[in-house]
């Protein structure tokens, strides 16, 4: 079994300089990798919490999009652009949640089909 990859040490990460947005984006990616490594050491219950939180966020995005749709239909707002953005965010969040669920189910069925 391979050893897990160690997170990038903060001393190895350079602050954004004259390289612009690319360096800033790399810094954010490195910080995210460090957070992911910390999350990987957490107990199994954290995955359940993570998935439950993702479902709650998806539901909140869908409710927000529905509220904006109703406001547009009633005439409280005329900003179709924001309504469409909210609807697309909700749709993308739902698709991502569904894809993760499908991968978890596939992994479960693969494990259950293993012979001992």
The domains of the chain are located at: 1-41, 44-116
The SS3 call for residue 99 is: helix
Show Cβ contacts of residue 14 under 8 Å, excluding neighbours closer than 6 positions: 23, 27
Alpha carbons 103 and 110: distance in angstroms, whole number:
10
CB hemisphere CA count around 106 (13 angstroms) = 6
Q: Is residue 61 within 8 Å of residue 90, measured between CB atoms?
A: yes
Which pTM does this prediction carry? 0.56
- pLDDT tens profile 44-88: 568 888 888 989 999 999 999 999 999 999 988 888 999 999 999
């Amino acid at each position: 079994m391979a050893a897990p990859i160690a997170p990038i040490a903060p001393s190895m990460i350079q602050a954004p300089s004259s390289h612009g947005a690319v360096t800033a984006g790399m810094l954010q990616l490195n910080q995210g990798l460090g957070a992911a490594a910390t999350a990987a050491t957490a107990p199994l219950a954290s995955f359940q919490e993570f998935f439950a939180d993702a479902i709650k966020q998806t539901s909140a995005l869908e409710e927000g999009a529905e509220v904006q749709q109703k406001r547009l239909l009633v005439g409280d707002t005329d900003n179709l652009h924001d309504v469409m953005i909210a609807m697309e965010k909700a749709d993308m969040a739902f698709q991502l949640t569904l894809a993760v669920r499908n991968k978890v189910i596939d992994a479960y069925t693969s494990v259950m089909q293993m012979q001992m």
